[in-house]
């Protein structure tokens, strides 16, 4: 799964990286510990052109009675997004990219109750393109004039060989040649879309242990990415 990630690239960097035609957000503070309910950048297609905007992390389906359901819908397993009620409408027409500069996963420490956090990023340092879905919700009790909440979920798949020793799931990281198909709301080939939801090549990634300070959402800053000497065997070691 992906429960925390890093979003530090500026809107200008993201716009260039993802070939965005309209930037709808201003300057943002770098976030080294993105948590659910945060307002996060997403790339989507609106009225035929690619946009960069912000939405809330934690999907609130249009049929939800209240937005609290989003706290449970931060990740969507790729295996069920075409059919599950919470995701199927968004999968059909509201697909997005969630840019990230890296993410955290926690590995079990043999013989101990604690878990060791790891920071994972692209080896070349470029932003990652998480596959995502987005939705729009308003309070049905307030009618059509109620404020809209736009929200997103990150799609996950089985981990690749590099990350499997840390966690058995990972975000779907879309290659650049898949962005057009994923973002196109008029592209409805379910089999072709499902074929994109696979683990990214292991050699694309690097990872290292970091401080357990990342466990608290109150902690934020570049120091969270500093390599930590743990004394434990690395993931996958005999």
Which pLDDT tens digits describe the chain residue by residue (238 residues)? 689 999 999 999 999 999 999 999 999 999 999 999 999 999 999 989 999 999 999 999 999 999 999 999 999 999 999 999 999 999 999 999 999 999 999 999 988 888 999 999 999 999 999 999 999 998 877 777 778 999 999 999 999 999 999 999 999 999 999 999 999 999 999 999 999 999 999 999 999 999 999 999 999 999 999 999 765 545 544 3
Cα radius of gyration rounded to whole Å, the chain: 18
In the chain, domain spans: 5-204
**For this structure, is 2 an active site residue?**
yes
CATH topology assigned to domain 5-204: hypothetical protein yedk fold (3.90.1680)
User: Of 96, 105, 152, 228, which one is the catalytic site residue?
Assistant: 105
Predicted confidence at residue 236, as pLDDT, reads 46
Distance CA 192, CA 212 (A): 39
Q: Which whole-number Å values give the CA distances from 66 to 50, 62, 148, in the listed order?
A: 29, 10, 12
Distance CA 21, CA 112 (A): 50
User: Of 2, 96, 152, 228, which one is the catalytic site residue?
Assistant: 2
Please state the φ and ψ torsions of residue 223, each to the nearest 5 degrees: -65, -20
**For this structure, is 152 an active site residue?**
no
Claim: this prediction has a pTM higher than 0.85 = yes
Contact 81, 131 (CB under 8 A): no
Predicted confidence at residue 238, as pLDDT, reads 33
Contact 84, 43 (CB under 8 A): no
């Amino acid at each position: 799964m992906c429960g925390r990630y890093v979003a530090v690239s500026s809107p200008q960097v993201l716009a260039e990286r993802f070939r965005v035609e309209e930037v709808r957000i201003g300057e943002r503070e770098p976030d080294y510990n993105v948590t659910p309910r945060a307002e996060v950048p997403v790339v989507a297609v609106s009225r035929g052109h690619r946009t960069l905007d912000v939405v809330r992390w934690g999907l609130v389906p249009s049929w939800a009675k209240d937005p609290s359901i989003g706290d449970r819908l931060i990740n969507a397993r790729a295996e069920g997004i075409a059919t599950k009620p919470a995701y199927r409408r968004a999968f059909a027409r509201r697909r997005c990219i969630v840019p990230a500069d890296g993410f955290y996963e926690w590995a079990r420490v043999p013989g101990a109750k604690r878990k060791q956090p790891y920071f994972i990023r692209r080896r070349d340092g470029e932003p990652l393109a998480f596959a995502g879905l987005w939705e729009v919700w308003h309070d049905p009790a307030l009618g059509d004039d109620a404020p809209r909440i736009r929200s997103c979920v990150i799609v996950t798949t089985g981990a690749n060989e590099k990350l499997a020793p840390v966690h058995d799931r990972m975000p779907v990281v879309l290659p650049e040649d898949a962005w057009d198909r994923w973002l196109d709301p008029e592209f409805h080939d379910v089999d072709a879309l499902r074929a994109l939801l696979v683990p990214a090549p292991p050699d694309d990634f690097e990872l290292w242990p970091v401080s357990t300070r990342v466990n608290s959402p109150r902690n934020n800053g570049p120091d969270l990415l500093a390599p930590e000497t743990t004394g434990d065997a690395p993931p996958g070691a005999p």
